[in-house]
Amino acid sequence: MPNYAYIALIPLLPLAAFVVLGLFGRRYFRGWSGGIGTLAVLFSTGLSLWAAYRYFFVDGKVGEGYHQVIALKTTWLSFSPGLSIDMSVVLDPISVMMIVVVSFVSLMVHVFSMGYMKGETRYGTYFAFLGLFTFSMLGLVLSGNIFEIYIFWELVGCSSYLLIGYYFDRPTAVAAAKKAFIVTRLADLGFLIGILILSFYAETLDFRTLIQRLTDPTSQLAGITSASFLGISLLSWGLFLVFVGGAGKSALFPLHIWLPDAMEGPTPVSALIHAATMVVAGVYLVARLYPVYIYSDAAVLQVVLYAGAVSALLAALIACTQTDIKRVLAYSTMSQIGYMMLALGTVHSAGEAGTLGFTASMFHLFTHAFFKALLFLCAGVIIHRVHSNEMKDMGGLRKLLPLTHGCFLIACLAISGIPPFSGFFSKEDILLSAWHANKFVYGIALFTSGLTAFYMFRLYFSVFWRRQVWGGDGHHGEAPVTMKIPLVILAAGAVFAGFIPFSRLVTYDGLPQETHRVGVFAIAPVAMALIGIFIARYLYFKESSRPGRVAAALGGLYRTAYHKFYIDEVYSFVTKKIIFNLIGRPAAWIDRHIVDGLMNLLATVTARISAGIKGVQSGKVQDYALYFFAGIAGLTVLFIYLYT
């Protein structure tokens, strides 16, 4: 058995960077902080690539397929026999694929940030937080224990909070950070209870054993499938609740509201956390427990399917109306993650093509990481020059930012699914699996791919063509070289990542498959994409009144999409009106006035009684004589009354 213990270094190096920069960055390293952080992640990336090479091509294969390797395992906290949180490092096709994606994108973002964040007063802190995030995310994907993944899950949430709130003197950033944390926390509650349910019946927290026990029809775990709550088996409840946790992190409808606001963070952070890595954690979580999802009844995967489809469509509609470049990209991320979830949900009804959805989902996750990170980093360059996020402040930037223009175009083509760019292949697989599973969902996915092309090219034409808003001083170059290098590398990824024979490497059961791509099948999606691009060109290539007229013609639909389907308003009603005013305020009032009032009443009554009777002990002989004779008189009267 090959020794994979060095894998532990992959997450630990960024952690070391976090500790060192967090403690000493501000005072001692200052400008060097970026270099230190980058160096740590560089080593992590190198190790990840090496591990991927070893795993996929040298010794990961046992017999026909790829097997799971547990590289490390140590008990962290044990509850009862069988139930313990182990810190483990697990290698299988998806975790190896993910460490490559995470460390690689993190490296790109680190390098980019050295230019983008230069001169910031909290430069060291920024890189410390990036290190913390990279550590947590790598830990998350390598987890072999369901509670271990929960631990890292919370840690990525915290690093996301810290990074969204990086510009802490902006109230909007603070509010966004808080919102992101609380919404995902709410979803994590589902995850936590899901863990409690699943682990209680399976009597283990270890993923491998958990999956074995829960999918074994002969096992004695009758309780979990026969016991039901509201007519649904506990197994399905557990899986559904775990999925809710994933939906929160992956910004699926209706738990997506934090993601657009999260764009308040520095743009490279958005590229890393809120586009390429953390937000796909939910997809990864479902993929991790996939055998159990398949084993349970179809309802849960149907939920996954429709949650994905609805998110993909809604987000694409909203993206068509937004004017903030980063928000358009955020909704686009949400839409693409919807695709990935949708693909995972296709299995049940899919029959033979069943496991295609799994591979397609992972494939799209992989290619998406490249082109979406690239889009965000391009947006970073643009914002860096224009000092605005609004599309109206941009236009005609292709001359000023030629390299960015080229990269952005590549990324747009990739996300729109134009061959031979990477997005084409992965989206093709997703559509294929959807076609086999559910024609209605296929229709949604196809329509959404047209919308995707439309809003991406709307963005592209508005920023780089249209009119010349930005004169530019011409003195500055496009961007520092540290910002340019990641763009070029990621662009190469966005072009070529699609050619990786993914289905031979990453499949649900580890056995290589051949994807049967049918040329004819590609016609519809590509045509949809081209239509989207042409509409975008017609409307946004030159300054005109056309977009306004179209918006006016669409009327209510446009306004509803522009206001993000009023979902934020619903949330704010529930939190402000119901939770704060109907629960919080009364609770606080009752505590002060009723519960404490009772305690004070007790004290007051005691004091009153004491005040009332203390006069009795006056110390005056006359008083005592009076009580004495009054007593005798009273008793005399009583006896006379009783005995006559």
Partner 1 sequence: MNLSLLVLVPLITAVAVLFCKGLNGIRWVSLAGATVQLLLSFGLLALYWRERAAGDSAAFLYEYRHAWFPSWNIWYHVGVDGVSIAMILLTALVMEAAILVSWAIKPMSREFFILLHFLSAGAYGFFLSLDLFTLFFFLEVSVIPKFLLIGVWGSGRKEYSAMKLALMLMGGSALVFVGLMGLYYNTGGAGGTHSFDLMEIAQMHIPVEVQRQFFPFLFVGFGIFTALFPFHTWVPDGHSSAPTAASMFLAGISMKLGGYGCLRVVVFLMPEAAREYSPVIVLLATIAIVYGAFATMMQKDLKYINAYSSVSHCGFIILGIGMLTRTAISGAVMQMISHGLMTALFFAAIGMIYDRTHTRMVQQLGGLLKIMPFISTVFVVAGLCSLGLPGLSGFVAEITVFMGSWERAGEMYRLATILACASIVITAVYILRATGQAIMGPVKDPHYNGLGDATWNEKLAGILLGAGIIAIGVAPFWLQALIK
d(CA 22, CA 28): 11
Minimal distance in Å, beta carbon 603 to partner 1?
Answer: 7
Q: Which is nearer to partner 1, 557 or 607 (CB)?
A: 607
The Cα angle at residue 449 between residues 514 and 371, in degrees rounded to 5: 75
d(CA 68, CA 291): 14
Q: Which residues contact 491 (CB under 8 A, 6 or more apart)?
A: 374, 406, 407, 410, 411
Q: Which is nearer to partner 1, 100 or 183 (CB)?
A: 183
Minimal distance in Å, beta carbon 588 to partner 1?
Answer: 4
d(CA 459, CA 399): 16
Cα 431 to Cα 58, 361, 524, 526, 631: the distances in Å are 32, 10, 10, 11, 100
Minimal distance in Å, beta carbon 589 to partner 1?
Answer: 8
Positive or negative CA dihedral for 484, 486, 489, 494? negative
d(CA 419, CA 369): 18
Determine contact, residues 280/289, Cβ cutoff 8 Å: no
Minimal distance in Å, beta carbon 169 to partner 1?
Answer: 5
Q: Which is nearer to partner 1, 509 or 596 (CB)?
A: 596
Minimal distance in Å, beta carbon 598 to partner 1?
Answer: 7
Q: Which is nearer to partner 1, 180 or 374 (CB)?
A: 180
The Cα angle at residue 341 between residues 340 and 347, in degrees rounded to 5: 100
The Cα angle at residue 171 between residues 166 and 172, in degrees rounded to 5: 80
Minimal distance in Å, beta carbon 383 to partner 1?
Answer: 22
Q: Which is nearer to partner 1, 178 or 504 (CB)?
A: 178
d(CA 192, CA 146): 10
Q: Which is nearer to partner 1, 601 or 638 (CB)?
A: 601
Rg of the chain's alpha carbons, rounded to an integer? 31
Determine contact, residues 396/462, Cβ cutoff 8 Å: no
Q: Which of 357, 353, 364, 367 is nearest to 491 (CA)?
A: 367
Q: Which is nearer to partner 1, 543 or 568 (CB)?
A: 568
Q: Interface with partner 1 by CB under 8 A: which residues?
A: 26, 75-80, 83, 85, 147, 150-152, 154-155, 158, 161, 165, 168-171, 174-175, 177-178, 181-182, 185-186, 189, 192-193, 196, 199-200, 580, 583-585, 587-588, 591, 595-596, 598-599, 603
d(CA 28, CA 508): 48
Q: Which is nearer to partner 1, 161 or 424 (CB)?
A: 161
Q: Which is nearer to partner 1, 75 or 618 (CB)?
A: 75
Minimal distance in Å, beta carbon 341 to partner 1?
Answer: 23
